[in-house]
């Protein structure tokens, strides 16, 4: 999206992926990664020796099925299940999709950019063929009917798409272009506005909050607060750094839910100016916009300083190595063709980081960063957010 007029996303689905993956693929990938003989033997013993049987019930006429001993598949619901699956379906050696795919267990999404829709579809097809060979080698079966394809671009360019651009062929099966695509719980749209995701989250949150209004009217404040944090709050904050730069009108939908909950918890149902701010202060809560800013800044700090976090931000370099002095100068603002890219993490995050005082950026720990962020930035929230949105 930084270089091209269009971007494409292709989400692949495999039928019964956890039940079909070959054990040999897992062991081979571990061996290629340099695992010791003890790890290989332990993995082999963990997967082997399992059995399954269907018990219809306690009826005298019921007959149990024969005992089956699987020769492939990973136990679902286990802690190691997603990790072993990702090891078995390793795409690290596929050069044509390097840095252009997202994988979490059996959720696999390919991405490609191009100046024309045909170029995007061609690159996605090339990537798919490379990935398909790995999928076949693992014993998995692609389910084209549950795969999804979406083209990302400006409203003007998307309105001029031709008929052939509205689908992509996967092994003879036509996958139609969609306007939205769900990836790990986030609803992406073709303009990357995140309005469908925010609208859906706000609708679900309002529904749950209305239920609490009816069922928990006479509960004490502490219980109301606990119910909101358990059943509603996760909906309005999930993946908030993703839609950090969404339009203010969209973010305000979630803010209204949060404010309404604060008034309900404190028992202040007045719809007057300042009532929500008073309720939030009573509970010791922040507005969602402030929490989103703090979350975004914390993720950027961790990305720059914690070796366990992915390096998603580009530091302005004064020499060949990245130093704290170079970091204090700020982050590079990626160039982009698509207007939708303005709302991305890397663009909005770079603007936010560069607007922070140097003392805040040079914090030595995440806790220190959050403390300095609170004391020096929260009072100027409007200026910081406005600078990031420009």
- Helices 37-47 and 23-32 sit at what angle, rounded to 10 degrees? 170
Q: In angstroms, rounded to a whole number, what is the distance separating the alpha carbons of residues 307 and 9?
A: 29
Query: Rounded to 5 degrees, what are φ and ψ at 358?
Result: -60, -35
- Kindly tell me if the per-residue pLDDT of 2 is higher than 60: no
**Residues ≥6 apart with Cβ < 8 Å to 206:** 257
Structure tokens at 293: 């800013």
| Average pLDDT for the chain | 81
pLDDT at 321: 37
Residues 102-127, mean pLDDT to the nearest whole number = 88
Q: b vs e for 133-165, b when ≥16 Cβ sit within 10 Å of the residue's Cβ?
A: ebbeebbbebeeeebbbbbbbeeebbeeeeeeb
pTM assigned to the model? 0.80
pLDDT at 206: 95
Query: Rounded to 5 degrees, what are φ and ψ at 26?
Result: -65, -50
- Kindly tell me if the per-residue pLDDT of 173 is higher than 90: no
DSSP letter for 181, please: E
Q: Pick from 113, 161, 122: which is nearest to 6 by CA?
A: 113
* Angular region, 186: left φ>0, alpha ψ -120 to 50, beta rest: beta
- Among the residue ranges 7-11, 24-28, 323-327, 340-344, the one predicted with the least confidence is 323-327
Structure tokens at 107: 């959720």
DSSP letter for 179, please: S
Residue whose tokens read 């090339």: 126
Question: Positive or negative CA dihedral for 51, 54, 59, 60?
Answer: negative
Neighbours of 28 (CB within 10 A): 17
pLDDT at 339: 57
Neighbours of 388 (CB within 10 A): 20
pLDDT at 323: 37
Q: In angstroms, rounded to a whole number, what is the distance separating the alpha carbons of residues 247 and 229?
A: 25
**pLDDT tens digit sequence for 127-155:** 898 888 888 888 888 888 888 999 998 88
**pLDDT tens digit sequence for 225-281:** 999 999 999 999 998 878 877 778 888 999 999 999 999 998 877 766 678 888 998
pLDDT band, very low/low/confident/very high, at 88 (cuts 50, 70, 90): confident
pLDDT band, very low/low/confident/very high, at 93 (cuts 50, 70, 90): low
pLDDT band, very low/low/confident/very high, at 57 (cuts 50, 70, 90): low
Helix (H, G, I), strand (E, B) or coil at 110: strand
- Helices 221-231 and 248-266 sit at what angle, rounded to 10 degrees? 150
- Kindly tell me if the per-residue pLDDT of 81 is higher than 90: no
Structure tokens at 33: 């990664």
Helix (H, G, I), strand (E, B) or coil at 169: strand
pLDDT at 207: 95
pLDDT band, very low/low/confident/very high, at 64 (cuts 50, 70, 90): low
Q: In angstroms, rounded to a whole number, what is the distance separating the alpha carbons of residues 337 and 346?
A: 14
Distance of CA 268 to the CA centre of its chain: 35
Q: What is the 3-state secondary structure (H, E, C) of 287-322?
A: CHHHHHHHHHHHHHHHHHHCCCCCCCCCECCCCCCC
pLDDT at 103: 82
- Kindly tell me if the per-residue pLDDT of 203 is higher than 90: yes
Q: Pick from 84, 121, 90: which is nearest to 103 by CA?
A: 90
Q: In angstroms, rounded to a whole number, what is the distance separating the alpha carbons of residues 144 and 13?
A: 7
**pLDDT tens digit sequence for 293-335:** 888 888 888 888 887 776 655 554 433 333 343 445 577 766 6
**pLDDT tens digit sequence for 272-299:** 667 888 899 899 888 888 888 888 888 8
- Kindly tell me if the per-residue pLDDT of 189 is higher than 80: yes
- Strand boundaries in the chain, DSSP class E: 6-12, 101-104, 107-114, 148-152, 167-170, 173-176, 180-183, 186-189
Contact 377/384 with Cβ under 8 angstroms? yes
């Amino acid at each position: 999206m930084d270089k091209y007029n269009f971007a494409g996303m292709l989400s692949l689905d495999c039928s019964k992926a956890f039940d079909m993956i070959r054990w040999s693929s897992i062991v081979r990938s571990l061996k290629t990664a340099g695992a010791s003989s003890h790890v290989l033997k332990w993995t082999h013993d963990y997967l082997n020796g399992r059995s399954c049987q269907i018990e219809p019930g306690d009826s005298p006429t019921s007959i149990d099925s024969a005992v089956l001993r699987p020769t492939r598949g990973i136990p679902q619901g286990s802690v190691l299940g997603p990790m072993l699956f990702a090891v078995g379906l390793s795409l690290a050696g596929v050069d044509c999709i390097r840095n252009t795919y997202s994988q979490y267990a059996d959720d696999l999404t390919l991405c490609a950019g191009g100046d024309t829709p045909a170029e995007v579809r061609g690159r996605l097809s090339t990537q798919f063929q490379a990935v398909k060979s790995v999928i076949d080698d693992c014993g998995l079966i692609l389910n084209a009917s549950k795969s999804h394809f979406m083209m990302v671009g400006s409203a003007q360019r998307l309105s001029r798409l031709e008929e052939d651009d509205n689908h992509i062929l996967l092994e003879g099966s036509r996958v139609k272009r969609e306007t939205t695509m769900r990836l790990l719980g986030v609803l992406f749209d073709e303009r990357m506005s995140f309005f469908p995701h925010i609208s859906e989250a706000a609708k679900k949150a309002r529904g749950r909050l209305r239920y609490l209004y009816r069922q928990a009217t006479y509960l004490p404040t502490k219980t109301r607060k606990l119910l909101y944090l358990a059943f509603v709050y996760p909906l309005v904050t999930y993946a908030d750094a993703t839609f950090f730069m969404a339009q203010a009108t969209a973010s305000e939908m979630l803010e209204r839910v949060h404010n309404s909950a604060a008034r309900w918890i404190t028992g202040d149902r007045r719809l007057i100016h300042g009532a929500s701010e008073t309720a939030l202060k009573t509970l010791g809560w922040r507005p969602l916009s402030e929490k989103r800013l703090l979350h975004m800044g914390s993720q950027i700090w961790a990305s720059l300083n914690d070796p366990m976090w992915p390096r998603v931000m580009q530091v302005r370099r004064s020499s060949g190595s990245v130093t704290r002095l170079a970091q204090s100068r700020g982050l590079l603002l990626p160039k982009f063709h698509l207007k939708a890219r303005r709302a991305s993490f890397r663009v909005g995050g770079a603007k936010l980081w560069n607007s922070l005082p140097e003392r805040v950026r040079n914090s030595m720990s995440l806790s220190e960063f959050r403390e300095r962020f609170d004391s020096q930035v929260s009072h100027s929230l409007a200026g910081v957010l406005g600078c990031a949105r420009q």
